[in-house]
Amino acid sequence: MSENQGILKVTPKTTAIDLLITIVVGYLFLLWFKPHVPSEDPSTIFWVAAFSAIPAAGTFWLCLQMFKVTLVHQRKLKEEKKD
């Protein structure tokens, strides 16, 4: 197996996929946070939940990137151990 096979690369496609997944997760956070906003005004409920979902989605994005780096490192170590 060549040295570059099995290693995830950062491409516009993978970046777009990560961004799409993060937006979907951010929307799910928005839906999750809405019932917990202490207000009766629907506009206030939406904006507070949305601004609470932004850092949660950002944290998810960082965790996703760290997972991908860890996965590449594990695959690299496994390949080195095999040789």
What's the whole-model pTM score? 0.81
- 3 state SS of 48: helix
pLDDT value of residue 46:
97
Any idea which residue has 């496609």 for tokens? 13
Asked whether 14 and 79 are in contact (CB, 8 A), the reply is: no
> Going residue by residue through the chain (83 aa), what tens digit of pLDDT does each one get?
455 555 678 889 999 999 999 999 999 999 999 999 999 999 999 999 999 999 999 999 999 999 999 999 999 999 888 87
Ordered by start, the domain boundaries in the chain are 12-82
pLDDT value of residue 1:
45
